[in-house]
Amino acid sequence: MLEIIKQPWPWYVAGVLIGLTVPALLLIGNKSFGVSSSLRHICAACLPAKIPFFSYNWKKEIWNLFFVGGILIGGFIGAQLLSNPDNIQIAESTKSELMALGVQNFNGLMPKDIFGVDQIFTLKGLFFMVIGGFMVGFGTRYAGGCTSGHAIMGLSNLQLPSLIATISFMVGGFISTWVLLPIIFKIIA
C-alpha cells in the first residue's frame, strides 16, 4: 500500500480527488476552496493596526488556516516520508528548449540553474524569484484569488469572473513561456 502512495498518481485520479474537495467544502460548511485568502487571514490575526482591508472577523475563517496548515504538513510528510526516489520525468522537447536557453540542471522539479539557493543574489534570482514572486502576488490580489481558487472553485460555481481570470492566467502563462522567457534569458545571460 505504501508503494502505491509513493508513486505519482495520474492526473485523472488526483484531479478527481481535488475536484471532490469543492463539493465537500460546500456541503460541510458552505466554504469556498482557495489558498491565497489565508495570507489575508494571517495578516488580520497578526497585525494590530487598523488597516481597513484587515479589519474583519478573521476567526470566522480560521478553518482556512487549518486547511493551509494541513497542506504544509502534508507536503512535508510527502517530501520526507513518501518521496519517489525516481527522477522527475521531463519531456525531451522541454529539456531541449530549456537547454537552448542555458538551463542545464534538471535534477528535480525546479531547475537549480534558475531556482537554486546560489541564484538568490544574482540577476537571474532577481528576475525569477523577486520580480516573479511580486508579479504572482500582485496578480493574485488583482484577480481576487489564485489559479486554484478561480480554476477549481470559481469555475465549478460557474462564475464568469473566474472564467475570465483562468483564461487570463493561461494566456499570461503562454506569453511568459514563449515570448518573455527567451527575452529574459538573453538579458541575464
Average pLDDT score over the chain: 85
> What pLDDT score was predicted for residue 111?
82
pLDDT reading at 13 higher than 80: yes
pLDDT in tens, 85-117: 777 778 889 888 888 888 887 776 778 888 888
pLDDT in tens, 139-187: 888 888 888 888 888 888 889 999 999 999 999 999 998 999 889 888 8
Question: What is 143-185 written as a DSSP string?
Answer: HTS-HHIIIIIIHHTT-HHHHHHHHHHHHHHHHIIIIIHHHHH
* Of 101, 26, 92, 40, nearest in space to 68 by CA: 40
What values do phi and psi take at 56, rounded to 5?
-155, 170
